[in-house]
Structure 1
Amino acid sequence: MFKNIAIAYDGSEGSREALDKGIDLAALLPDAKLTVIYVNDETPERAGYMNVGNASAPVMSANVDSTYAQYTPHGLGDDGYRPPHDLDSGRTAEYSKHMHNSIQQQLDAKNAKASVLALEGSVIRTIIGFIEEQNVDLLIVGNSGKSGLQKFFVGSVSSKLIKDSGCTVLVVK
């Protein structure tokens, strides 16, 4: 049935449910390869600050991630854009360590074997790229993630993955 299963994890309740269901399913399919992925999308290429009058406002770089470009007000381009000057490069490593430990604890609690991978980039494109590159035939995701405001502006991650991925997607509630 399914030989290569990936679980998208972001630390939310929905992704913890997806991880639990994915572990249970993998136990029923002993020949299946199970991979848990999490994506760190806080890269300086996508987020920065725009000078607006005497203030500085956080923005997404429209020329890097066109997903957000459609929500950028007309006339607000990259001319005044600058990457964040106070980006803490250790924050990414700390986030990855925290996510990896959290996932591994859940795997250990159920005596499950899986690869745990940290990926970087735009969440949707990175997951879809991973699916294609690794020939994943089942992706398991939670029905809700971390950011309600982000869903308001760009739609839910699970909805976009259902629409854009080339494999079967199981959404866990």
Structure 2
Amino acid sequence: MISIDESPLPNVIGFLALVSYIATLLPTTLRIVFPQTKETGIPQWLLKRRRIIGIIAFFLALGHGFLMVQKRNFDFFDIKTFWIYFQGVITFIIFMLLSITSNNWSVKKLKKNWKQLHKLTYVAMFILIWHIWDKMSGHWTYLTPISLIATTIITVLFIIRLWIERQDKQQKMATKVTKANLLEKSSK
């Protein structure tokens, strides 16, 4: 039987980081998967604030990590520590890179590479499910199922988004080919 523990402060801060992070993923996903949400203005509102929400997510993740290190008294010189907390460390590094480059100067300097770098956010999305499941198994709090459901939903929506984008791309390519064939036939 699963017992529900009380959520300690580091878990609450980690949950808030997760909610903020999911908010950064929503604008494009909502726009593509649920096009009718454009009318609500929610995707546009989130899109305008995506960078600041992402930076907030990073600082909340930093607070979560700091409190966990303090609580568990980690030995940073022990390789086992990094192996045990691999998912959290990798996700934190991704969040740090994204946070550091969430400014206009970085966009200008990195150009196309900026967009490629910020695609790491989708890697973090998959790692977070693993991180939550792995670290919380055996001592769930009331936030654990909410966190797992939220990350699973945003991940499934992301996969649906990729599928829709792929279908749209294939449809556009088919339209181009058809138009090219029509132009070729009409010129003969």
Q: TM-score, normalised by structure 2?
A: 0.31
Whichever of the two has the greater Rg, that structure is 2
Q: Which has the higher helix share?
A: 2
Larger proportion of strand: 1
